[in-house]
Structure 1
């Protein structure tokens, strides 16, 4: 096995690819193998390597990865958003140490983290591009790495921190604490905020690669999760002050390619030969008007919406087939390619930021401002302003997150854990609930391959 200096580029797509049998496993003799030094000595290959990182998010792939779709679909089942017609494993939180989804999440994360680390090291040492571009690209890769570790720490708890490409180091790395994972996330995000610009580096005005405010959006969520309320509010206020974003006028247009609510998205399929537009649209929508939806909205979520909430009317569709009524998610409305109403895969959007700000302000005692920002989200949903007490404000904000961010990036699953309400909520909703199910199992194959990995409790 060539241990630390090999990558491979698929010539037709000019993108990185690799297998991941161990934590970060590099194939012995991959096709079209070239050294990292060769890749990062050419500016075109450097940009292809960067593009490869985003390709591995798989935003427009039906299977998905930790970078798209799987977190939404399985996090939604693990919480109380989705029911899968063909398996109750995640709905009942009955996943085991050999769970295939947990393994996919883990492997896809470390595969792409390896590529990010390779880009960080290779770009830092190249002379093929300007120093300013080098710094910007490295900052971009560190943002992406922070995004991945944010998912990992919320899914698995403490995980190995892989920041190098040397297999001798990565193959036996132990797990670190949750605090140590967040320390790296915050350090990567601080560098990203210091170097990324307001202008998106993507071409043609798209938001396919992160800008300064994308880094601020993730930073806001991280600070919120770490209960650093002042810092969370500061991040969101800077996003709002930029004037670059605005709430979509109706819930139906939020996920369009042209939506100004979006802070960061990845491209959906942009060619008519593709049989899907986004991974989530393809996965969550029925395959035809005659097919029952594989993924149905949990009645708990259906009933959580207030009367006349436009989000329920727009983001949940009801159909009756052969005498049975189904509710299924329709945030993404294109199962297949639609040039006229093109959708993109949304990573961060403004409504989430308003709710982050409202929650931070409520914790800080700024109840008037918190209510104002909460009502911005409610107003777009066609609802009256909040009329409850100050004591109930946080509960109202959590409820608004439940319906606004439903089946979107596992927000409900993460929110229940970070607010310490998961046992009370899911314990009341699920007879099979056990507190150890709040974290997924470390894949058994990884435990076997790395003697320094310790399994989560309950597995």
Structure 2
């Protein structure tokens, strides 16, 4: 049986598969019983979010691929997979790569099944509006999944139909990067009219789609559309605004603040695995990932980090170890995973406006982010200086989220900033296990 091409389209009510932690419970039912009425459809869409938030996707491993690659996070522990990433010795056998790839495709397969079955259900409790909402969520989360595959691995196999048997969806060649991104836009476009234009920070709405489109258009260098879609949320000041000071969106057990456009909620039975890797042993973690000396200096610099220094803390003597404290809560593992925040929309619009020659407007957006961090206004006056200033803001704004590496690749700055000149290393390897399972799948060059 192929590793990811065939999974029973079961209801994932509690799901995760953390590579080095205890496996969380997973409830599944036979395919023929999986989605038959309103209640099972609701359970299945909840399962889709659990796929997205699993330890191998946004609950740990996928963001880790970005921040461990981005040069600001050091590996301090014993596991070989993160060591390979930080040492620039990534291989196709890396556990983080294979588990993230599998988790993303499992999310896609769950979305595919919802898209196939929900329109056919004839339960009077499942209204037409609710069917539309579920389908919109499935399209949007499939779009996010393919977006993450594209920015991580390049062009990938586009699996757009439900998988019922091991022979379904096999022998599909990899699409190009442009084709993969085109599918992302197609799914976002399909999702938008199906969703209500409401505010929900834990579920996908039309506003979530607008935010994802802003990010998509930024990556595609479509500046006008990036500005337009970012503005849709920034202008909705009643729903979205920068939490002030910086730590207001995560300190003191805060959740679902006006800062968040989309975050994944966790519970004591469905945990976010980040804390285990960031917190020191004294706080029941392993601290195998830690901020680098450079990042510590930037965050503690009052002219760069400002009040974002609250992202890090130091253990007591004699250790004096710096650690990340974005994921810290009690009960452990109940921290949100932040998919997209309003700050990113400000920085997307700032960059888009810079590229469009709207320097003054771009500075206004950048300075809104800096003001929230307790910083003086930026002194950048030229396009190049402003782009570098935006890059620095991203570096200290999202160091423990899935941004730094992908941002440097997107802007073509990875060679200058990290000294990685081999362009074949700008994408992740296709897992060896997947190449063995599907002969139609080809490896990225250089691996």
Considering the TM-score relative to the shorter chain, is it more than 0.5?
A: yes
Correspondence for 2:49 among 31, 50, 54? 54
Are 1:7 and 1:17, in contact at CA under 8 Å, matched by a contact in 2? no
Aligned partner of 2:312 in structure 1 is 316
Correspondence for 1:94 among 89, 108, 114? 89
Cα distance per residue 1:125-156 (max 9 Å; x no partner): 22222222222211110000011111111111
Cα distance per residue 1:267-303 (max 9 Å; x no partner): 122x5xx6x9632233311231598732110223223
Structure-to-structure mapping, 1:118-157, within 5 angstroms: 118-128=113-123, 129-157=126-154
Specify the SS of the correspondent of 1:145: helix
Correspondence for 1:401 among 377, 394, 402? 394
Query: 1:386/1:17 Cα in 2 relative to 1: closer, same or farther (>3 Å)?
Result: closer
Structure-to-structure mapping, 1:263-302, within 5 angstroms: 263-269=261-267, 271=268, 278-288=272-282, 293-302=287-296
Query: 1:34/1:17 Cα in 2 relative to 1: closer, same or farther (>3 Å)?
Result: farther
Query: 1:387/1:453 Cα in 2 relative to 1: closer, same or farther (>3 Å)?
Result: same
Correspondence for 2:412 among 401, 420, 423? 420
Specify the SS of the correspondent of 1:346: strand
CA distance in 1, matches of 2:188, 2:118: 18
Aligned partner of 2:23 in structure 1 is none
Query: 1:458/1:67 Cα in 2 relative to 1: closer, same or farther (>3 Å)?
Result: same
Query: 1:424/1:16 Cα in 2 relative to 1: closer, same or farther (>3 Å)?
Result: closer
Shift of 1:320: 4.9
Aligned partner of 2:445 in structure 1 is 457
Matched, 1:384 2:370: no
User: Which structure 2 residue ranges, 5 or more long, are not aligned?
Assistant: 18-26
CA distance in 2, matches of 1:394, 1:137: 38
CA distance in 2, matches of 1:415, 1:311: 23
Specify the SS of the correspondent of 1:94: coil
Query: 1:307/1:189 Cα in 2 relative to 1: closer, same or farther (>3 Å)?
Result: same
Query: 1:388/1:207 Cα in 2 relative to 1: closer, same or farther (>3 Å)?
Result: closer
Query: 1:320/1:52 Cα in 2 relative to 1: closer, same or farther (>3 Å)?
Result: same
Matched, 1:307 2:306: no
Are 2:34 and 2:40, in contact at CA under 8 Å, matched by a contact in 1? yes
Specify the SS of the correspondent of 1:160: coil
Are 2:59 and 2:272, in contact at CA under 8 Å, matched by a contact in 1? no
Aligned partner of 2:9 in structure 1 is 7
Shift of 1:450: 1.1
Query: 1:134/1:291 Cα in 2 relative to 1: closer, same or farther (>3 Å)?
Result: closer
Structure-to-structure mapping, 1:427-446, within 5 angstroms: 427=419, 434-446=422-434
Specify the SS of the correspondent of 1:406: coil
CA distance in 2, matches of 1:335, 1:297: 22
Aligned partner of 2:20 in structure 1 is none
Are 1:292 and 1:326, in contact at CA under 8 Å, matched by a contact in 2? no
Query: 1:195/1:450 Cα in 2 relative to 1: closer, same or farther (>3 Å)?
Result: same
CA distance in 1, matches of 2:298, 2:145: 30
**Deviates most, 282-291 or 157-166:** 282-291
CA distance in 1, matches of 2:310, 2:330: 16
Aligned partner of 1:24 in structure 2 is none
Aligned partner of 2:65 in structure 1 is 74
Across the aligned residues of Structure 1 and Structure 2, the Cα RMSD in angstroms comes to 2.7
Aligned partner of 1:192 in structure 2 is 191
Shift of 1:16: 8.5
Aligned partner of 1:240 in structure 2 is 234
Are 1:224 and 1:360, in contact at CA under 8 Å, matched by a contact in 2? yes
TM-score, normalised via structure 1 length: 0.85
CA distance in 2, matches of 1:107, 1:44: 27
Aligned partner of 2:155 in structure 1 is 158
Aligned partner of 2:205 in structure 1 is 211
CA distance in 2, matches of 1:248, 1:187: 32
Query: 1:124/1:404 Cα in 2 relative to 1: closer, same or farther (>3 Å)?
Result: same
Specify the SS of the correspondent of 1:148: helix
User: Which structure 1 residue ranges, 5 or more long, are not aligned?
Assistant: 19-29, 201-205
CA distance in 2, matches of 1:126, 1:421: 49
TM-score, normalised via structure 2 length: 0.87
Specify the SS of the correspondent of 1:45: helix
CA distance in 1, matches of 2:258, 2:58: 22
CA distance in 2, matches of 1:144, 1:303: 36
CA distance in 2, matches of 1:288, 1:278: 19
Specify the SS of the correspondent of 1:347: strand
